[in-house]
């Protein structure tokens, strides 16, 4: 069969990744450039700050590789993944974050869930055509009507553990869904290479900031209520002041001229993910797999009052820091204060797997090719001990 291809016209995408084994998962990722919200970001950004993984693009003209007949046989080696180039560096950075920022387990996060799913009087039907299901679940108004966040992948505790229980509290009935930040007025929408938010709007409107991806933890409790909490996905890096910091998992910040053939959010879409053990594997279209750690979730508001000023730890410089979850316009460590676009919890990337083969199709081309790395989309868990297919 021909290599899977990606249709990247908004809002629909066809993306696929393959990975099989007794405890295997399937995912993939997109290459993204480094954060710019640090204290005084130099330009150009060093290559070492680029988010991992990044797959090289094949320079062969697409016409040469175009597969014009159905049934082209893909090379099995095209589906091989290898460790991301910065796996060791990423682990070191996350360890530094662990030393500075307090952590929260999944059980605590769920216990502190601050949003409620309406399962009793939910009447919304965005399409107006489907018959009412036996059970409806509606998110809170600002989530269900959000122009900014587009829901994508789903996974749950059934993937995480065979007995469908997680953690020391043996939590059950947990579902996760991912959303990516699609509406970004801070980016250039009219092709003039200037972002649509002016500096004052950037400070006042958190939608002007590209936040990347968030994962929503949802749990049905014993009393029948369904609660949920958003967690921002983050990527650790060392900023230009040599402090450990983090940013959202996404592509280059600021103004970018959009390609009409590419989705407005040029980074990670989280179209597929699997929670396995204490790791969350997230698909990234052109690169491979990003791996996040449930045991490294950072809590920037440990006293839970929603106010700024919680005491954080010190990095290798020994300078004490605080946090601010009230300001929704900033991310990472800035002037010894930690920001997270207003999210209390941030889950960092701890490793990556990338396609070993180069991407044969350049961005903007959707032709099927008979060789080259596939586009990643779906994520699945296979508990079978015998490989099939």
Which H/E stretch holds residue 229?
strand 226-238
CA distances from 188 to 31, 95, 107, 109, 201 (A): 20, 36, 40, 36, 14
Greater model confidence, 212 or 359: 212
d(CA 89, CA 236): 10
Residue 232 or residue 12, greater confidence: 232
Q: How far is CA 102 from CA 122, 235, 295, 303, 306, in A?
A: 37, 16, 11, 11, 15
Would you state the pLDDT for residue 12? 28
Residue 31 forms part of a structural domain: yes
Task: Give the C-alpha distances (Å, rounded to integers) separating 220 from 154, 172, 332.
Answer: 16, 8, 32
Calculate the average pLDDT of the chain: 75
- pLDDT for the residue 125: 65
Closest CA to 331 of 29, 41, 31: 41
10-47 pLDDT, tens per residue? 222 222 233 333 333 333 333 333 343 444 443 344 44
d(CA 117, CA 137): 6
CA-wise closest residue to 345 among 367, 320, 323 = 323
Residue 164's CB is within 10 A of a number of other CB atoms, namely: 15
Which neighbouring-strand residues pair with 51?
32
Q: Kindly state whether residue 1 falls inside one of the protein's structural domains.
A: no
Q: pLDDT by residue (tens digit) across 309-333? A: 999 999 999 999 999 999 988 889 9
Q: How far apart are CA 38 and CA 275, in angstroms?
A: 30
Residue 77: pLDDT band by 50, 70, 90 thresholds?
confident
Distance (Å, rounded) from C-alpha 20 to C-alpha 23? Answer: 8
388 domain residue, yes or no: no
Query: Coil, strand, or helix at residue 384?
Result: coil
Question: Rounded distance, CA 252 to CA 263, Å?
Answer: 14
H, E, C per residue of 104-132: CCHHHHHHCCCEEEECCCCCCCCCCCCCC
Q: In the predicted model, what is the mean pLDDT of residues 279-296?
A: 90
In 57-98 the beta strands, taken as DSSP E runs, fall at 81-83
Q: Is the pTM of this model over 0.85?
A: no
Query: Does residue 240 sit within a domain?
Result: yes
Please count the structural domains in the chain: 1
Give the span between the Cα atoms of 280 and 274, in whole angstroms. Answer: 6
Q: What percent of the chain has pLDDT over 90?
A: 37
Instruction: Report yes or no on 192 lying in a domain.
Output: yes
Per-residue pLDDT at 256 exceeds 50: no
Q: Looking at the domain assignment, is residue 3 inside a domain?
A: no
* Residue 374 within a domain: yes
Tokens of 199: 């500096």
* Host domain of residue 229: 24-381
């Amino acid at each position: 069969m021909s290599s899977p291809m990606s249709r990247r016209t908004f809002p629909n995408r066809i993306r696929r990744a393959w990975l099989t084994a007794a405890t295997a998962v399937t995912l993939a990722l997109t290459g993204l450039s480094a954060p710019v919200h640090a204290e005084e970001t130099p330009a150009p950004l060093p290559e070492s700050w680029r988010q991992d993984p990044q797959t090289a693009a094949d320079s062969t003209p697409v016409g040469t590789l175009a597969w014009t007949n159905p049934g082209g046989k893909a090379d099995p080696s095209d589906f091989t993944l290898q460790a991301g180039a910065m796996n060791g560096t990423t682990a070191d950075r996350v360890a530094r974050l662990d030393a500075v920022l307090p952590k929260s387990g999944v059980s605590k996060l769920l216990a502190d869930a601050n949003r409620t799913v309406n399962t009793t009087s939910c009447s919304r039907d965005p399409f107006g055509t489907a018959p009412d299901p036996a059970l409806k679940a509606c998110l809170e108004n600002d989530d269900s009507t959000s122009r900014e966040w587009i829901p994508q992948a789903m996974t749950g505790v059934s993937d995480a553990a065979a007995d469908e229980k997680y953690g020391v509290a043996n939590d059950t009935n947990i579902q996760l869904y991912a959303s990516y930040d699609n509406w970004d007025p801070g980016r250039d929408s009219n092709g003039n290479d200037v972002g649509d938010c002016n500096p004052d709007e950037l400070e006042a409107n958190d939608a002007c900031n590209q936040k990347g991806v968030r994962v929503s933890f949802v749990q049905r409790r014993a009393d029948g209520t369904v609660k949920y909490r958003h967690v921002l996905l983050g990527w650790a890096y060392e900023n230009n002041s040599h402090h450990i910091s983090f940013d959202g998992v996404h592509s280059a910040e600021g103004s970018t001229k959009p390609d009409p053939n590419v989705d407005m959010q040029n980074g990670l879409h989280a179209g597929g993910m699997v929670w396995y053990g204490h790791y969350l594997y997230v698909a990234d279209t052109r690169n491979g797999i990003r791996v996040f750690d449930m045991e490294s979730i950072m809590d920037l508001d440990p006293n839970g009052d929603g106010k700024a000023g919680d005491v954080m730890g010190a990095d290798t410089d020994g300078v004490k820091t605080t946090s601010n979850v009230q300001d929704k316009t900033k991310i990472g460590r800035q002037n010894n204060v930690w920001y997270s676009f207003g999210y209390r919890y941030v889950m960092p990337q701890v490793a990556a797997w990338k396609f070993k083969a180069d991407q044969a199709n350049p961005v903007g081309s959707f032709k099927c090719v008979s060789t080259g790395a596939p586009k990643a989309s779906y994520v699945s868990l296979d508990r079978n001990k015998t490989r099939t297919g």
